[in-house]
A and B are shown apart, each in its own frame.
Chain A
Amino acid sequence: MATLTDNPLLSAGALEALIRSGGEPDWLAEERRAALRTFDATPWPTERDEAWRYSDLKRFAVDGLEPTDGPDDDAVSDRIRMRMTDSDAEGILVHKNGRTIERQLAVREAGVLVTDLRTAVTEHEDLVREHLYAAVDAHAGKYHALNAAFWRDGTFVYVPKNVEVELPLGAFTSADRGGLSMGRTLIVVEDNAKVTFLDEYTSDTFDARLFHGAVTELVLGPGAKVRYLALQNWGRNVAHMQRVAAKLDRDARLESLTVSVGGDAARAEVESTMQGPGSESEMLGLYFGDEGQHFDQFTVQHHEADHAFSDVLFKGAVRDASHSVYSGVIIVDEGAQKTDAYQTNRNLLLDDDSEAVSIPQLQIGANDVRCSHGSTTGPVPEDQRFYLMSRGMPPEVAEHLLVTGFLYEVMSRVTLPKAAEYVERVVQAKLGVPGVKEKL
């Protein structure tokens, strides 16, 4: 059995150096120290842990990796420039090797804050202090604590009451050297405010192994509307561990999409807590594994309040000896009556060497609810393949169309056209559609 082991570089001394380098306030330093104590006291997950049972744990190991501390220079690569231009975003941050290297912070709506998280800690201390670590508990698990203690760069977004931000905001996280990097995104959206945020992780493939830990906290006030898109397209040498957690107040609405296409291994944990009645959380996921990639997704729909709605739709395809895991749970607390919660996972197996595991679950503590879950895993239906081939399409073109069609159910619900087009191009490139790779 694979076991994960400690990394001596994640020491109290290293943490103190990190705290000093940022000139951080005492409360944050204390939070980090407490998180490190939890980290040290918590065992690494093993395959005996239900949440990790089907994961390829060793691919998420952090031992032997040195924490990254920024690139040699602050040049933004062509790859990132292209993505920035293509995303239609204003209010952009670029993080590289653990340092924020570019800030385009102007946003036309008044009162909106976009900045890197370490600057925000000092410049907007009260806001950060109120919300940091609120959606993702620093002490809930080994990797939670790891990020809470050692996060280095990150993004902070604040949208005040009743402000609707028209254009998307975004952060692009990249790297060109191996090691251990940890980023954090905190998005606070007040009453009836609205924002779209694109968190993109991307790099070329380079030689050394990189582990990137990403945590996103989304705080939605009453009536707030947030669209959040996490797009992971790292080079094939990267292990990516992502947690996206949202707290929704009364009548808030979240639309999230988590895309996993890059990296060697990636785990995406997506959690929404419906704290206010009438809140709605639509959680979409898309993954496409090839060449031995391992994608692991885990969703939690936690209904604390009554009359709330949540809908999970995760779809993925695997081929070339790649693996995917989906597990998810709907939790309905006692008293959360009139809950409406749905959970769907569908997997396409494109060859016999690949594997998709799917484990949907329900924990229901109220009696007047509507909940359903469903999961399917299987190959491309033979009748569909035959139909397309009967029109003269070679098998690879037929497969491309059928995968596109399969993922369309998710893609058609993505309300960010540019991002959707990009994801489609990435999927097409993975399918070997000629002429696509050049456009990425």
Chain B
Amino acid sequence: MSENRLEIRNLHARIAGGVDILKGVDLTVPAGEVHALMGQNGSGKSTLAKVMAGDPAYEITDGDILIDGESVLEMEPDERARAGLYLAFQYPVEVPGVSIANFLRLALNARRDEDDEIGVMEFYTKLQGAVKELDWDESIIERNLHEGFSGGEKKRSEILQLLVLEPKYAILDETDSGLDVDALKVVAHGVNAARGDAFGALVITHYQRLLNYIVPDRVHVMAEGRVITSGDKELAMELDDKGYDWIKNEVASGAAPA
């Protein structure tokens, strides 16, 4: 089996000093696939996303996270990013005084050797390509990072960054929340544009709606800090129809695979 995958093994984590929120998560996303992670509020989805990216507010008490077979637990958030991991934030922060263009140029150069900075033409070609992919006005790149952005614009910016930075693995943390259908389609289009053999993604969402536009290869359901079951894209439909209590009962009764 190929080593090219994002792997979470028996992951336990908590807010520093608190009780475990993640209680043994096992999940694998092979390169080339897009998986969905669904679950109710409080099931641990967003915690999982932040823990994977290395949010210092959390501590890992057991288990491992591996990118292509290599553990990232000892890596700082920036090292994980340079190793190929990308988190699209649920709540992207604002950085006044730093344009999107400047920000992304710095982020790209951080991945390259000091004497190998990206050329101006190469950079703008790439950036403009991504802006076009997301059906956005070119002037957006001169705006300060998320300053005065609507919720939808922030989400679009997260996908723009994904397209420019070209990570190996992306985690999308409720990128669909707060989006109208048009914005949802644009965001989904951006993610689909990134799909390919060398790209894996974990799409975290409450609702099946996003999965109409980003069709997942697998669907995982999370409850109480664990992945309780997994299935194909039909599982998401069924879940949307019957609710989370249904799937919990199915798992408890043995009707759904644990």
Residues in A lying within 8 Å of B, measured CB to CB: 381-384, 386-395, 397-398, 401-402, 404-409, 411-412, 434
* Chain B window 97-113, contacts with chain A (Cβ cutoff 8 Å), 1 for yes, 0 for no: 11000010011001100
Contact partner of B95 among A386, A388, A389, A434, CB < 8 A? A388
Q: Is the CB of A392 within 8 A of B82?
A: yes
Q: Quick one: given A389-B76, A390-B81, A393-B107, are A382 and B57 in contact (CB under 8 Å)? A: yes
Q: Is B53 engaged at the interface, CB distance under 8 Å to the other chain?
A: yes
Q: Is the CB of B82 within 8 A of A407?
A: no
Report the contact-size class of chain B (Cβ under 8 Å from the partner).
20 to 34
- Shortest B149–chain A CB gap in Å is 14
Q: Whole-angstrom distance between the alpha carbons of A409 and B57 in the complex?
A: 28
Q: Is the CB of B95 within 8 A of A390?
A: no
Q: Is the CB of B106 within 8 A of A390?
A: no
A residues near B106, Cβ cutoff 8 Å: 393, 397, 401
A383: nearest chain-B partner, CB-CB: B93
B residues near A395, Cβ cutoff 8 Å: 76, 78
Q: Whole-angstrom distance between the alpha carbons of A398 and B165 in the complex?
A: 17
Q: Is the CB of A386 within 8 A of B55?
A: yes
A395: nearest chain-B partner, CB-CB: B78
Contact partner of A405 among B56, B98, B114, CB < 8 A? B98
Contact partner of A393 among B92, B93, B110, CB < 8 A? B110
- Shortest B213–chain A CB gap in Å is 25
Q: Is the CB of B81 within 8 A of A391?
A: yes
Contact partner of A392 among B92, B96, B144, B165, CB < 8 A? B165
Q: Is B123 engaged at the interface, CB distance under 8 Å to the other chain?
A: no
Q: Whole-angstrom distance between the alpha carbons of A393 and B107 in the complex?
A: 6
Q: Whole-angstrom distance between the alpha carbons of A408 and B98 in the complex?
A: 9
- Shortest B51–chain A CB gap in Å is 12
Question: Which residue of B76, B106, B144, B161 has the most chain A CB atoms within 10 A of its CB atom?
Answer: B106
Contact partner of B78 among A393, A401, A407, A409, CB < 8 A? A393
- Shortest B65–chain A CB gap in Å is 14
A403: nearest chain-B partner, CB-CB: B97
Interface residues of B in 59-101 (CB under 8 A from A): 76-78, 80-82, 86-87, 89, 92-93, 95-98
Q: Is the CB of A387 within 8 A of B92?
A: yes
Q: Is the CB of A390 within 8 A of B78?
A: yes
Q: Is B54 engaged at the interface, CB distance under 8 Å to the other chain?
A: yes
A residues near B57, Cβ cutoff 8 Å: 382, 386
6 contacts between A and B (CB under 8 A): A384-B93, A390-B78, A392-B78, A405-B97, A408-B96, A411-B97
Known A-B contacts: A390-B86, A391-B110. Give 20 more (CB < 8 A): A381-B93, A383-B93, A384-B93, A386-B53, A386-B77, A387-B92, A388-B95, A389-B54, A390-B53, A390-B80, A392-B81, A392-B165, A393-B106, A393-B110, A397-B106, A405-B97, A405-B98, A406-B96, A412-B97, A434-B114
* Chain B window 158-170, contacts with chain A (Cβ cutoff 8 Å), 1 for yes, 0 for no: 0001000100000
Q: Whole-angstrom distance between the alpha carbons of A404 and B92 in the complex?
A: 18
Q: Whole-angstrom distance between the alpha carbons of A388 and B81 in the complex?
A: 10
- Shortest B157–chain A CB gap in Å is 11
Instruction: Give 7 closest A-B pairs by Cβ, nearest first.
Output: A408-B97, A392-B81, A389-B77, A389-B78, A391-B107, A392-B110, A405-B95
- Shortest B100–chain A CB gap in Å is 12
- Shortest A315–chain B CB gap in Å is 11
Q: Whole-angstrom distance between the alpha carbons of A265 and B54 in the complex?
A: 40
B residues near A390, Cβ cutoff 8 Å: 53-54, 77-78, 80-81, 86-87, 89
Q: Whole-angstrom distance between the alpha carbons of A22 and B111 in the complex?
A: 63
Describe B's contact surface by its main secondary structure.
mixed
Q: Is the CB of A401 within 8 A of B96?
A: no
- Shortest A152–chain B CB gap in Å is 40
- Shortest A379–chain B CB gap in Å is 13
Q: Whole-angstrom distance between the alpha carbons of A393 and B111 in the complex?
A: 8
A residues near B87, Cβ cutoff 8 Å: 390
- Shortest B112–chain A CB gap in Å is 10
Q: Whole-angstrom distance between the alpha carbons of A412 and B107 in the complex?
A: 23
- Shortest A385–chain B CB gap in Å is 8
Q: Whole-angstrom distance between the alpha carbons of A411 and B81 in the complex?
A: 31
A residues near B78, Cβ cutoff 8 Å: 389-395, 398
Q: Is the CB of A391 within 8 A of B161?
A: yes
A residues near B54, Cβ cutoff 8 Å: 386, 389-390
B residues near A409, Cβ cutoff 8 Å: 96-97
B102: nearest chain-A partner, CB-CB: A401
- Shortest A417–chain B CB gap in Å is 14
Q: Whole-angstrom distance between the alpha carbons of A406 and B147 in the complex?
A: 12
B residues near A406, Cβ cutoff 8 Å: 96-97
Q: Is the CB of B81 within 8 A of A389?
A: yes
Question: Which residue of B78, B86, B144 has the most chain A CB atoms within 10 A of its CB atom?
Answer: B78
Question: Which residue of A390, A397, A412 has the most chain B CB atoms within 10 A of its CB atom?
Answer: A390
Q: Is the CB of B81 within 8 A of A404?
A: no
A404: nearest chain-B partner, CB-CB: B97
A residues near B161, Cβ cutoff 8 Å: 391
A residues near B89, Cβ cutoff 8 Å: 387, 390
B residues near A397, Cβ cutoff 8 Å: 106, 110
A387: nearest chain-B partner, CB-CB: B93
Q: Whole-angstrom distance between the alpha carbons of A401 and B98 in the complex?
A: 7
Q: Quick one: given A390-B87, A391-B81, A392-B165, are A384 and B97 in contact (CB under 8 Å)? A: no
B residues near A398, Cβ cutoff 8 Å: 78
B84: nearest chain-A partner, CB-CB: A392
Q: Is the CB of A392 within 8 A of B93?
A: no
Q: Whole-angstrom distance between the alpha carbons of A382 and B50 in the complex?
A: 13
B residues near A434, Cβ cutoff 8 Å: 114
A residues near B81, Cβ cutoff 8 Å: 389-392
- Shortest B58–chain A CB gap in Å is 10
A residues near B76, Cβ cutoff 8 Å: 389, 395
- Shortest B17–chain A CB gap in Å is 15
Q: Whole-angstrom distance between the alpha carbons of A401 and B107 in the complex?
A: 11
B residues near A383, Cβ cutoff 8 Å: 93
Q: Quick one: given A382-B57, A387-B89, are A394 and B97 in contact (CB under 8 Å)? A: no
Q: Whole-angstrom distance between the alpha carbons of A370 and B142 in the complex?
A: 36
Q: Whole-angstrom distance between the alpha carbons of A405 and B86 in the complex?
A: 23
